[in-house]
Structure 1
Amino acid sequence: MGILRAIGDTVTPLIFLALSAVLNIAGDYICLAVLDMNVEGAAYATLVSQMAAGIACIIYSVKRYECICFTWQQCRVDSVLARSMMSSGFSMGFMNSIVSLGTVSLQGAINTLGDSYIVAHSAARKITELFMMIFSVFGMTMATFCGQNIGAGRTDRVRRGIWHSILISWVWCVMTATAAWLAGPWFIHLVTGSSSDEVLATGALYLRVDTLFYFVPAVIAIIRNAMQGIGDHSTPIISSTIELIGKVLIAIMLVPYLRYTAIIIAEPIVWILMVIPLIVQILRNPALKPE
């Protein structure tokens, strides 16, 4: 699916993902409701649905695009390409690992605050992940888009693409902030089913504060992935390392004194710090300077 996106076909991967989801749902029903296979049945349903969609995608790709077809004589290792792909792959994988470690450090601090805070934060994070999903989508799109256009020598399109993606994501930021401020407690209740004033107020406060700063992670997701697409693999790692260090320090130094307030302000502070090297480097990148 990644290859199809790279050559400009973004619709077909979506169709096969939808096919996989439909097969998974049907498989869950058959395995759980009809065959009574419990958890093992759910695992089989997922495995079969993904394998079926994957095989169908491969067959379609090979038949539809000649550039994807290859012969056994072509199955040899190109050291230059291998180094380039490994550099990009390790960079993106390491970046995501660092981000996850930072999240774990904050979660560990939250677990010391009590059940109400854990429930409220878990619910708020689910809503946050839903709100911020579009940033990840734009980021993945920009990685492919920038790689394609850098390869074609169209740096003007790269600059426009980055700027237009940021503008669109900022419109979404305004919408999510408005939703959080108008219906924050309702979102928390929807996820938790709780009517506790403490849980609803705590989760809503997290949403209302953090959504005001969403324009920063929008820029981070777009620029970080764009830089991966244009071949800068070090700056995104530096930015993610800043995120990890910031979250660990806040978890250790501020949470014991400010309690959940430190958790609320942690991500806005870290976002602002980690976006700085990304903006500086993207502006300095010679490949993106106007001719």
Structure 2
Amino acid sequence: MAIAKRKTNLMTQGNIVKQILFFSIPLILGNLLQQLYSTVDSIIVGNFVGSNALAAVGSSTSLIYLLIAFSQGAATGAGVVVSQYLGAEDRKRTHDAVHTAVAISIILGLVLTLGGVLLSRQILIWMNTPKEVLGDSVTYLRIYSGGLLFNVVYNMASGILNAAGNSKRSLYYLGYASVTNIILDIVFINILGMGVEGAAIATDISQVVSCILAIGYLVKVNEPYKIKLKDIKLNKSTADRIIKIGLPTGIQNMTISLSNVLVQSSVNQFGASAMAGFGAYMKIDGFNILPVLSFSMAITTFVGQNYGANKIDRVKKGMWITLAMGAVYTIITGILLLTFSTPLMRLFTNDPNVIEYGKLAMDYFCPFYILISCLQCLAGTVRGTGKSIPPMVVLLTSMCLFRIVWLQVALPFFSTIDGIYVLYPVSWIVGLVLMVIYVWKGKWLVPHTVS
């Protein structure tokens, strides 16, 4: 039975540039909005509470990514499956995939919430978090973890919407969440003086808002990806397919996040100012990296639909177009960040030591963002065909194994934090070389039948 297309944007025909661009823009804006309300937490905390509180929020970021990394992999797997079934115009399997995906997200969300609340202190101690920062870090992370269920379910709902080509909806809901978060940050931190507790609670509430709005839309929409609450359950064959595609991405995300936790642990040894400066720049870094990941998600959906429809030529053209878009974006933003590095850091703090640590990170990162853009776009292309293991191996090798070896072997030869900062562009080079070799030589793009 053919799938109705009123609110399902199939990208299997038409202008490729326009389709990828128009699909990417809401994803980019949505991710930037999500990063905005995370950044606002740090800006308000840094200006109204102090550098130690800013360090506490920043040091928790890598752990938060670790907690949600696996669920993001599951959302990626579900998105690929849903997009392929939509491309193949298979209504029954689309229905099964959507409801199985939501069931998986609820289970993962509950597990992550419990784990985050119970293990926060121990992990932060293991990360060498300084005593003057530890209390605030634990408080922020525990409260934030209390809202992880809503974060995970929203990400899955967003993945379903994106798979259907309806990325604008995710943008709308993140917009509402961002406004909610900013208003509550001002009320809780500036007016009520709640410190890092207020920042975490504001974020939790904003995540509840985006989750309820996204699920509410999926319940009401009259499309093949509509959610019927009574049908939310695990379909074994569909769950197996989602896990087969999503598990490598989830493991990849978790392991890379773990390596970032190790990097953060190394940064922590340089003291609170280094933690605050690095953490503040990581918020700025998100405005570059997240759009790159948006392009990667866009090409994954585009490839999923066209690969499901056996339109191999469109898959190849889409890959090159996305690579060009990512390159242009990262070159422009890299130049802008370097040009305005000082005023950007002053948004977070007036502490000169913190500012210098942040500016130094920009000097190492900004000229090389194009490398991570090409790496992620190629990985997203391959992932869209359902072959998620090769990108996992490449990203784990470059962004996890290589970084861990560097921290153990090379870092002791550096007496400053430069040894940590230079690690990022070097690992991007390693990853891009490996990914190009696989795309060039690997057998990842062959005609098939979606099963």
Instruction: Give the TM interval when normalised to the shorter protein.
Output: 0.7 to 0.9
Does the 8 Å CA contact 1:156/1:288 hold for their aligned counterparts? no
Report what 1:182 is aligned to.
Answer: 339
Within-5 A mapping of 1:1-150: 1-23=158-180, 50-51=207-208, 53-69=210-226, 78-150=235-307
CA distance in 2, matches of 1:13, 1:129: 18
Choose the corresponding residue for 2:414, options 238, 241, 258: 258
Report what 1:230 is aligned to.
Answer: 385
Over the matched positions of the two proteins, sequence identity in percent amounts to 25
CA distance in 2, matches of 1:207, 1:46: 26
CA distance in 2, matches of 1:137, 1:258: 35
Does the 8 Å CA contact 2:268/2:275 hold for their aligned counterparts? yes
- Deviation at 1:151? 0.7
Does the 8 Å CA contact 1:124/1:206 hold for their aligned counterparts? yes
- Deviation at 1:289? 6.9
Does the 8 Å CA contact 1:169/1:215 hold for their aligned counterparts? yes
What are the Cα deviations for residues 194-235 of structure 1, in whole angstroms up to 9, with x where unaligned?
Answer: 234xx4444323212321111111012212222222111211
- Deviation at 1:150? 0.9
> Unaligned regions of 5+ residues in structure 2, if any?
1-157
- Does the residue aligned with 1:192 lie in a helix, a strand or coil? coil
- Deviation at 1:46? 5.9
173-182 vs 83-92, which moves further: 173-182
Choose the corresponding residue for 1:216, options 340, 364, 371: 371
Q: 1:216 to 1:67 in 2, by over 3 A?
A: same
CA distance in 2, matches of 1:176, 1:288: 32
209-218 vs 123-132, which moves further: 123-132
What are the Cα deviations for residues 96-152 of structure 1, in whole angstroms up to 9, with x where unaligned?
Answer: 111111111222222223444333323332222222221121122222222111111
Choose the corresponding residue for 1:267, options 424, 428, 438: 424
Q: Which has the higher contact order (CA 8 A, sep 6+)?
A: 2
Q: Normalization by structure 1: what TM-score?
A: 0.82
- Does the residue aligned with 2:333 lie in a helix, a strand or coil? helix
What are the Cα deviations for residues 40-62 of structure 1, in whole angstroms up to 9, with x where unaligned?
Answer: 88877766655555444444334
Does the 8 Å CA contact 2:277/2:358 hold for their aligned counterparts? yes
- Does the residue aligned with 2:166 lie in a helix, a strand or coil? coil
RMSD: 3.3
Q: 1:22 to 1:184 in 2, by over 3 A?
A: closer
Q: Normalization by structure 2: what TM-score?
A: 0.55
Looking at CA atoms only, which structure, 1 or 2, has the larger radius of gyration? 1
Amino acid at match of 2:402: G
Amino acid at match of 1:180: L
What are the Cα deviations for residues 233-270 of structure 1, in whole angstroms up to 9, with x where unaligned?
Answer: 21122123212121112212222221322112111111
- Does the residue aligned with 2:347 lie in a helix, a strand or coil? helix
Amino acid at match of 1:88: I
CA distance in 1, matches of 2:238, 2:302: 19
Equivalent pairs counted in the alignment come to: 287
- Deviation at 1:23? 4.7
